[in-house]
Amino acid sequence: MSTAVSREPAVSREPAVTAVSPTAPPGPANRWLSRTAVNGALVLATLYMLFPLVWLLTAATKDAGGLLAGNAFSFEGFDLGRNLSDLAAHGDGIYFRWYANSLLYAGVGAVLSSLVSVAAGYAFDKYAFKGKEKLFSTVLLGVLVPTTALALPMYLLASKIGLVNTYWAVLLPVLVHPFGVYLSRVFSAGYIPNEALEAARIDGAGELRIFVSIGLPMVMPGFVTVFLFQFTAIWNNFFLPLVMLSDQKLFPLSLGLYAWNSNAHAEPTYLPMVVTGSLLAVIPLIVAFVSLQRHWKAGLTAGSVK
């Protein structure tokens, strides 16, 4: 007698594969909303940044009464000419002495600091020496240290060697710019091919001549970028001159206008001079950025396209 054995069909244990439909591109409405949101954010950011400049431009046309009355955004009682005359006449023209000091500190300091940064960045990139990366890391640590924390040690050092109340007290501390050294190394790696340096060495050129004749011209966009960063930082520098200087004839604009603003609470006649002087103080920054705009844009895009 035979027994029938029923067999169940084999069940596949492979996971089921579900078809995934490709993501559809955003429609015209979504793209329009995205563009509108981005453009709206850019417009708000632009207005936010231009608002202080517009206030400064209109407030410089007011006398002390107009400023105290809060009518800074109207052009009624246009008094810019008188404010400029008072600015030039006050203190035997001390304002323009401060202006010249700021140009000296920012111009000379930024040029020398950029040269030091570019030379250091070039050396870190092109030369191999013992402890190079450790030394470079130590330089980068300077980026993390706020300048206000170094003001007192620098004052004590300057006082010991007799540099307090001199131009050198403001110029020497700004010559070393750790972030500029980092940027210069990046620019050197992206702009200066090693083959060009090797060809110059084969032709018998010395290392200094190679840097001056080949390295520095090739890395000029980086030099301009570091220069603009340093020029802006030194022009707006306040705490270091406050610590180092007590002679008004050596003040930069930032410190001189601060002194006038402190007196404005007791003598409101200082208010128009402070506002007008602040407006004139913006001009060198605008001129620097506009005149060096081509090199600056090239520097910002360095390494983005190989």
CATH number of the domain encompassing residue 270: 1.10.3720.10
Single pTM value for the model: 0.81
In a 3-state reduction of DSSP, which class is residue 299? helix
The answer to whether position 253 is within a domain reads yes
The answer to whether position 219 is within a domain reads yes
Residue 70 is which amino acid?
G
Roughly what angle, to the nearest 10 degrees, separates helices 94-126 and 80-89?
80
The answer to whether position 66 is within a domain reads no
Roughly what angle, to the nearest 10 degrees, separates helices 94-126 and 132-144?
150
Report whether 117 contacts 214 (CB < 8 A).
Answer: no
Say how many domains are in the chain.
Answer: 1
- Distance separating alpha carbons of residues 37 and 45, to the nearest angstrom: 12
pLDDT at 281: 94
Report whether 277 contacts 253 (CB < 8 A).
Answer: yes
The answer to whether position 67 is within a domain reads no
Chain Cα centroid distance, residue 199:
36
Residue from 281, 275, 276, 284 nearest 81 by CA: 276
pLDDT at 267: 86
The answer to whether position 22 is within a domain reads no
pLDDT at 25: 56
The boundaries of the domain holding residue 273 are 96-300
- Distance separating alpha carbons of residues 305 and 222, to the nearest angstrom: 16
- Distance separating alpha carbons of residues 256 and 264, to the nearest angstrom: 13
Report whether 165 contacts 247 (CB < 8 A).
Answer: yes
Q: What is the CA radius of gyration of the chain?
A: 30
pLDDT along the chain (306 residues), means of 10: 46 50 58 80 89 85 78 71 89 93 96 95 92 92 86 91 93 92 92 91 91 91 92 93 93 94 86 92 92 68 45
Report whether 278 contacts 199 (CB < 8 A).
Answer: no
The answer to whether position 204 is within a domain reads yes
The answer to whether position 281 is within a domain reads yes
The answer to whether position 13 is within a domain reads no
pLDDT at 150: 87
Report whether 124 contacts 181 (CB < 8 A).
Answer: yes
pLDDT at 97: 95
Residue from 190, 268, 182 nearest 229 by CA: 182
Report whether 230 contacts 180 (CB < 8 A).
Answer: yes
